[in-house]
Structure 1
C-alpha cells in the first residue's frame, strides 16, 4: 500500500476549518500538522481544496443480488466513490431478501469481491423472523431494518405484536421506513377511481400523504420509548414529523432522525418537470416541508443526511401508469455536490454537512475509527474543489441505470479525489485499479 501526503488542504472536521497537511500510511491517518516534511509515495497538492471525511451513506439500495438491470454493488459503489462516498450501508429488499443470517453473510461475501467502498448490510425484519433478529450478532450488521410501510414481498411488518417483539428484542440499532400502508391504500383507491392508472404524478405526495407518514413515525417513536429500543427513523419528509425529535447533538440520543438529499433539494413543484423520475417513497412534498427539514438539520432534530439511492431503469421510469412507475431515484454520485450547492446557497455551512454525513453517522452506528479526520483513524477522505463547476450529464453517470434526476444541472463544486482505506481510488476523473473496500467493524 502506497503512502500518501496531502498538502495545504483546508480540512473540515469537528466544527472547524483549518489548513494542514495530512500523511497517510498503511491505510490510516498517521499525521496531521500545519506543515509536514515526510517522504511519501504519492503527494497531492490540495491548495485551494477542502478535505472532508468521506460521506458515510447509511441508506442505499444497490439492488444486489437480484436486480442486475437496475444496479449492482460493483456499479453503484463505483459511482459512489466518484461522488465522494467512502462507506455505504445497503438495504435488505433484494432477491433473495436479507432476512436470514445466512443471506446476510452471503451478501458480505459478494461485497468482498465487488464493492469499491467500505460497507455494511442490514438484516431485514419480517412479521415472522424474530428468531433471526434475536440471534443476530450486533457487530455483524449496521442494524435491523423494518419496513413499516412501502415494501414488497414479505418485508412489510404490519403486525403490532411483531413490531413490539422486534423493538423489544433487537440486539442492535433499529431503522425504520415509516408510512401507514392502510391510509395509503385508501388514497390510492380514491385517486384510481378518478383517474384510473393515469394518475398525474403531482398527486404522489397526496397519495403517500403526510398523515400516513406522521401516524407511522409517531407510532415508532412511542414504541421505542415504551420498549427502550435504539431507534433511527429514515428519510423523514414532513414538517409535522420534526417535532417528534429532540434538537441538539446526536451523542446520547436513543431516538434519532434522518433526512435524504432529494427531500432537502426537490419540492412538489418539481413534479411538473421531473414527473416519475422523482417518484420515491416517502414522497417529495411541499416547499414548506423541505424548509422545515432544512431547519431541523440546523437545529439537530435531523441527525444524519443520507441518500436512499434506489435506481430503476430509464424505461421503467417512463411508464404512463402511475402505479407502473417504480419509486426511487439514483443519486450517490451527485449527493455530496448537491449538498455543497446548498452550502453555496447559504442553506448549510460546510461543517454541518460534514457533521451530518460523516461524524454523526459514525457516532450513531458506533463505527470503529471512521468518520473523522483524526490520527489513527482509517483514511477515508474526499477532496472537493468548491469553485470548480461541473454539469451532470448522462454520459458522465456511472450508474447501471445510466440516468440521474439532476441531469443538466451545473453543480458549483466538484469531487476531485476520493481515498478509501488510504488508497487513492478516484483522482481527477480517473479510477485506480479495483481493490475491494472493507467490511465495517463496530464498537458495540
Structure 2
C-alpha cells in the first residue's frame, strides 16, 4: 500500500547531520527517512527542490488570547501566525480572560481551540487556589503550570512561600513543569510608586522599575522554595547575567531547572527601546548591550536552554500610551522568531544545530512533548522547511497575527521558513496558508507509562 506523502529531493537535518534524500509520511507520522531510491510509493509526492527540512519548530511561550481577549488575537489568527513563521507547536499561556486555572476552564479553552487551530497547541494552566485541585488540572491535560510573580494570576497566593512549596511538590509528584515569570512584585511596586511620585512616566522610568535586580531577586527566591520539591522549574524570558548564574549554580547542585531567552532580549537593546517607545515595551524590558552580549554568551554555552517568542499581541491602542504605566507590555513574535535566528546562522553567530536545539529538541524535552523535536521514524510529521538563501524584510502589515507591529520592522532577514507541515499536512507554502481550520491538534499531558 502506498503511504500518504513522500517528500523528496530534500536536505534533512537528522540529529546533527545533513542528509540528502527524503522522508515518507503516513497517518501523520514519519515512517521512513532514506535516499530517494529507497522511499516507498505514495499517494502524493512533493519535490522540495533541495530545501532544508528541520524538525518542527516549537514555541514554548505564546499568548494566543481568544475568549474575551479575542480582539488582541484568537486561536485561528495566532496559529496562522505560527505556521507562517515555520512554527508547528505552540504552548499557550494562561493569563486569559477568564484565567485558565481549573480543569473546567482548561477544558473549555481546549474545546474552543480545537476547531480553529492550524498548529498543534498545548496549554499551560495557572495554579488553582486549592492545591489538591492540581491533580484534576493535570488529568485534564495541562502541559505545565505558569506562575506570575508580578501580579496575582490564578488562585495561588504568590506571596506565600509555604503554599508555593506545596504547589511545587505536587507538580514534582505529577512530573509537570512549572514555568515562572520572575520579577519580585514588591520591588516592582515600590519602584513604580517612587517613579510616579516624582512624575516619571517614560520608558526610562519603566526600565528602572523593571531592573535586572528585580528579576534576579525573584529567581533566587523561587530556587530556594523549589529546592526540595523535585519540580522542574523553567524560568521564562531571562534577561540578566545574575539570573543565569543563579540558575546555572542551582542546576549544578542537582535542581531540575531550565530557562529561556527571547529573540527581542537577544537582539534589541534598551537604546532601541528609547527610540521605539511604548510600542516595544516588554516585561522584562530590553537590557543594555553588555547584558545582551552576556545573554548571547549563555546561549553559546548552553546555559540558556531554549529560545521562545513570548508572542504577546495587544491592540495598538493598548500599546501607544503617553504614560508607560497605562500601556500593556509585550510584542508579537511568532512570525519573526525563526527567521531572525536563521539570519544569525547566516551571519555566523549561531549554528544550525544550535537553532534546532533551542527551538525543537530542548523544548520537546523540557515539556515532555513526545514524538517531537527530531526527525525520526515514528515521530510526528511536524516539519519546518526553510530556504537558507531567501531574503525578506520584516513588514508587520503583512502579519497573520492581529498585532500589526514589531520592534523588528524594516529588518533585513536571510533564511526563511517556506513550508510548514503539521501532522503530515502542508499548511503553509511560500508564506500563504494552504490548509483549512482545525489542521492542528490539542496536546495533552501524557500519563506516565
TM-score per shorter chain, which class?
A: over 0.9
Counterpart of 1:177 in structure 2 is 181
Q: Which residue of 2 aligns with 1:136?
A: 137
Measured in 2, the distance between the counterparts of 1:390 and 1:42 equals 30
1:159-208 Cα deviation digits (max 9, x unpaired): 22221221122222111111101111121122212234xx2213433210
Task: Report what 2:305 is aligned to.
Answer: 303
* Structure 1 residue ranges, 4+ long, deviating more than 4 angstroms after superposition: 150-156
Aligned length: 440
Separation in 1 of the partners of 2:240 and 2:22? 42
Aligned partners of 1:195, 1:353: CA distance in 2, in Å?
44
Measure the CA separation in 2 of the matches of 1:274 and 1:424.
37
Report Cα offsets for 1:110-166 as digits up to 9, x if no partner. 11111111111111025x332321433367111111112246586772222221221
Please tell me the root mean square deviation across aligned C-alpha atoms, in Å: 2.3
More displaced 10-residue stretch of structure 1: 204-213 or 95-104: 204-213
Q: Helix, strand or coil: the match of 1:108?
A: helix
Partner of 2:322: 320
Separation (CA, whole Å) in 2 of partners of 1:323 and 1:58 = 28
Counterpart Cα distance in 1 of 2:20 and 2:31: 17
Residues 3 and 41, structure 2, Cα contact 8 Å, conserved in 1: no
Do the aligned partners of residues 229 and 313 (structure 1) sit closer, same or farther apart at CA in structure 2, a change above 3 Å counting? same
TM value normalised by structure 1: 0.93
* SS of alignment partner, residue 379 of structure 2: coil
With 377-386 and 404-413 compared, the bigger mean Cα shift is at 404-413
For residue 338 of structure 1, report the CA deviation from its aligned partner: 1.0
Q: Is the counterpart of residue 25 in structure 1 residue 26 in structure 2?
A: yes
Query: Cα distance, 1:428 vs. partner?
Result: 1.6
CA contact (8 A) 1:235 1:259 kept: yes
Moved more, 8-17 or 316-325: 8-17
Contact conserved, 1:316 with 1:325, CA < 8 A, in 2? yes
Aligned with 2:42: secondary structure?
coil
Measure how far apart 1:41 and its partner are.
3.4
- Contact map agreement 1:397 1:404 (CA 8 A) in 2: no
Q: Is the 8 A contact 1:239 1:288 kept in 2?
A: no
Contact 1:147 1:178 in 2 (8 A): yes
Q: Check whether the contact 2:123–2:443 (CA below 8 A) recurs between aligned residues.
A: no
Deviations 1:400-439 (A, max 9, x none): 1222222222211221100000000111232223133112
Q: Any stretches of 5+ residues in structure 2 without a counterpart? A: none
Partner of 1:437: 440
CA distance in 2, matches of 1:54, 1:61: 19
2:429 pairs with one of 407, 412, 427? 427
User: TM-score, normalised on structure 2?
Assistant: 0.92
Q: CA deviation at 1:6?
A: 2.0
Partner secondary structure for residue 397 of structure 2: coil
Give the secondary structure class of the aligned counterpart of 1:414.
Answer: strand
Q: Which runs of 5+ in 1 are unaligned?
A: none
User: What residue is the counterpart of 1:117 in the other structure?
Assistant: 119
Residues 2, 423 of structure 1: 8 Å contact kept = no
Q: Secondary structure at the match of 1:257?
A: strand
Cα 1:337–1:201, aligned 2, differ >3 Å: closer, same or farther?
same
Partner of 2:352: 350
Distance in 2 (alpha carbons) for counterparts of 1:13 and 1:220: 37
Q: How far, CA to CA, are the matches of 2:182 and 2:130 in structure 1?
A: 19
CA contact (8 A) 2:161 2:225 kept: no
For the 8 Å contact 2:227–2:255, the answer to whether it is kept is no
* Map of 2:9 onto structure 1: 8
* C-alpha separation in 2, matches of 1:298 and 1:95: 38
User: Are the aligned partners of 2:14 and 2:375 in contact in 1 as well (CA < 8 Å)?
Assistant: yes
- Distance, in Å, in 2 between the alignment partners of 1:277 and 1:31 is 46
| 1:36-51 map, 5 Å | 36=37, 37-51=39-53
Any residues of structure 2 matched to 1:254-403 within 5 Å, and which? 254-403=256-405
In the alignment, what sits opposite 1:70? 72
| Aligned counterparts of 1:293 and 1:206: Cα–Cα separation in 2 | 19
